[in-house]
Amino acid sequence: MEKLGHVLAKFIEIPMTEIDDDASIQVDLGVDSLDVLKLASEIEKAYKIRIENEEFDRLRSIGGIKKMINEKVAGGVGASK
């Protein structure tokens, strides 16, 4: 998840390791809605995956993002097309 740490650093000042997996990106960490869109694009680019519009709810917390990346990179459920 090193790449995710780099991506998140562009949006959140606190290092990823110090953020609770359940913390809300928008409410607790104050990331603007436009930045969440940007964050999604950056994750897509970094991991060469596709985040579908209907999966957007999974970007609510760091834990959700990690889980989604793991699934997609492993080619499991919800992997990119």
Partner 1 sequence: MNSANRVLITGVGVVCPIGLSAEETWQRIRLQQNSITPIGFGHGCDFRIETASFVDCEKIRRNIKPEHIGYSKSFQYGLVALQEAIEKARLTPGDMQNTRIILSTTSSGWDVLERRLGEKELGEFNIQETAGWCASKLKEISGSIRPTSTFAAACASGTIALGYAYDLISTGCEDIVLVGGVDVLTKVPFALFDSLRVLSARECRPFDSKSSGIVLSEGAAFIVLESEHSAKQRGISSLVEFAGYGQACDASHMTRPSGEGLLEAMKQALNNAGVDSSSIDYINAHGTGTPSNDNVELGAIEKLMASRTSPIVVTSTKSSIGHLQGVAGVIEAAVVAYTVSENTVPPMKHSETRKNTNTISFDPKSDGLQNIGYAMSNSMGFGGVNAVAIFRRIDNGEISTLESCPRRGFMPISVRFGTENGGGGSIEDGFLGAYSFDRNGPDLQSKALISQVESILRHSDIAPKSLLRTRTGLALETCLGSIAVTEKIYADLDREGASGVDPIDATRNTFNAPGSFSAIASNLQGPNITLAAEMGSSLSALEYGISILQGNSSDLMIVGGYDYIPVESKTFKSIRMLGNEVAGGLGNCVFEASMMSIELLDSARKRGAQSDLVIEDFFRNSRRASMNAVVDVIATISEYLTENRIHQIGIECVINSKEGEAKWRKELDASGLKDKFQLNVEVLSSISPAWAYKYLKNLGGSSSKENDLDGNNRLDKYLVVFAGWNSEISVLRLGKVA
- Retrieve residue 43's tokens: 């994750």
Near partner 1 in 6-25, by CB under 8 A: none
Q: How far is the CB of 30 from partner 1 (least distance, A)?
A: 10
* Contact between 63 and 8 (Cβ < 8 Å): no
Near partner 1 in 50-69, by CB under 8 A: 50, 52-54, 56
**Which residue has tokens 């957007």?**
56
> Does 38 engage in binding with partner 1 (CB under 8 A)?
yes
Q: Please state, in angstroms and rounded to a whole number, the distance separating the CA atoms of residues 33 and 47.
A: 21
Positions touching partner 1 (CB under 8 A) are 32-35, 37-38, 40-41, 44-45, 50, 52-54, 56
